[in-house]
Structure 1
Amino acid sequence: MGKNQKKKSNKRFWWVLISVIIIVGVGSSLFFFNFFGIGIDALNNSDTAGSVEQKDLSKKEEEKINQVRSTVGESHQDLGDFVASTHEFYNDTTGYGGINNLDWEEQKNKSEQVIMEIEKLTLDVSDESLKQDLQSILNVSQQAIEEEEAEDVRSLHRYFHDLDIALNDYQSYDRIWNVTETLKEVR
């Protein structure tokens, strides 16, 4: 075999090897994302995908949140505990692409628990905006049970996220979702 033929053979080998690696990589990625039901929006952050506008917080808005927390949040600590644990549930089950692969039995059970707990806790709520938010959560929870739509679960997660900010000392945020009446004055 001549020197030129050997070079061509080596080039061809490397091109074939590189092509096979690329094809296997792309194929594996497609299989992984398809198998786990993860969409393209999950690569950024699955919870930021959607039609509800999100908002970066300014110092002034953070001060308003602290004011709401010290008034409404202070007088509803039992509700605040419930909101925090429910928010954690939604973080665990919908984050990192989980919204695209929901366990509907688990989501329906949680929605039923949310309805029962809010019906008990609403009796002690005097703040009208908080009452409106809780009624909205009841409606969306019932809808999630009946229709099994991921958008309803996303809405519930956003309600609990914003209420966790309003009622508790939830610090792992830099945005509010603008879905609650309780934080309306912050907007």
Structure 2
Amino acid sequence: MAKENHGSKMGWFGWTILSVILVTIIGSFLFFFNIFNLDIKSIFSSEKNADGNEEPVSEETMEKVEEVQKTVGKDHTDIGKFVAEMHDFYNETTGYGRIASLDWEEQKDQANNILSTLDEKLSNVKDDALRADIERIKELAKKAINEQETEHVRNLHRMFHDLDIALNNYNGYDTIWKVTETLKTAN
């Protein structure tokens, strides 16, 4: 008598169905990543943990931020408004993984806007730390225009993020990137 071995073999039909399902899933992922210009790193990491130099906001840090807002921020409301506008722009164009698919023409236009605006406003800046931050922003904007590397745009976003905290009452944050001289003087 021949033994029947049920259960351990899927047969050609089972393998065909499994293969079709796997190919469909892989094809869908490839299609999705190509359509939205994503890479695997942008899905599994966020901007918050991209390079690990952020500082969780402590009670002491909050007090120092408030002190800077009352001094430097109060004396530079014009720059503060511009910083808030730029921070909003970078939140919209680089947040939630959008940094992986930047519109470089839009980024170049904004970088040129940053350069022309800050050239006008730099003479009114009295604080040395803020002046250094503005010079750094201008340098990053020039690099963003000429080199078109996402790292320059990310650094611009972080500069405006920290300056928005320092100059304005921006409270939509849980991270300080520690990239500005203005906030370093507060720490």
2:129 touches 2:185 (CA, 8 Å); kept in 1?
Answer: no
How far off is 1:170 after superposition? Answer: 1.0
Percent identity, please: 44
Matched, 1:153 2:162: no
CA distance in 2, matches of 1:10, 1:120: 74
1:113-138 CA-to-partner distances (Å, cap 9, x unmatched) read 00111111111110100000000001
Q: Residue 36 of structure 2 corresponds to which residue in structure 1? A: 36
- When residues 75 and 137 of structure 1 are mapped into structure 2, their CA distance, relative to the original with a 3 A threshold, is same
* Alignment coverage as a number of residue pairs: 184
TM-score (norm. length: structure 2): 0.87
CA distance in 2, matches of 1:33, 1:140: 29
The RMSD of aligned alpha carbons is 2.4
How far off is 1:14 after superposition? Answer: 6.2
- After superposing the two structures, state which structure 1 stretch, 17-26 or 145-154, moved more: 17-26
Gaps of 5+ in 1: none
How far off is 1:180 after superposition? Answer: 0.2
Q: Residue 114 of structure 2 corresponds to which residue in structure 1? A: 114
How far off is 1:166 after superposition? Answer: 0.5
CA distance in 2, matches of 1:125, 1:183: 16
Q: Secondary structure at the match of 1:179?
A: coil
Q: Residue 173 of structure 1 corresponds to which residue in structure 2? A: 173
How far off is 1:20 after superposition? Answer: 3.1
TM-score (norm. length: structure 1): 0.87
CA distance in 2, matches of 1:153, 1:121: 21
Gaps of 5+ in 2: none
1:41 touches 1:49 (CA, 8 Å); kept in 2?
Answer: no
Q: Residue 70 of structure 1 corresponds to which residue in structure 2? A: 70
- When residues 174 and 11 of structure 1 are mapped into structure 2, their CA distance, relative to the original with a 3 A threshold, is farther
CA distance in 1, matches of 2:62, 2:44: 25
CA distance in 2, matches of 1:96, 1:14: 40
Q: Secondary structure at the match of 1:38?
A: coil
1:22-70 CA-to-partner distances (Å, cap 9, x unmatched) read 4322321222123322122322454235336111111111111111111
CA distance in 1, matches of 2:37, 2:54: 24
CA distance in 1, matches of 2:13, 2:120: 71
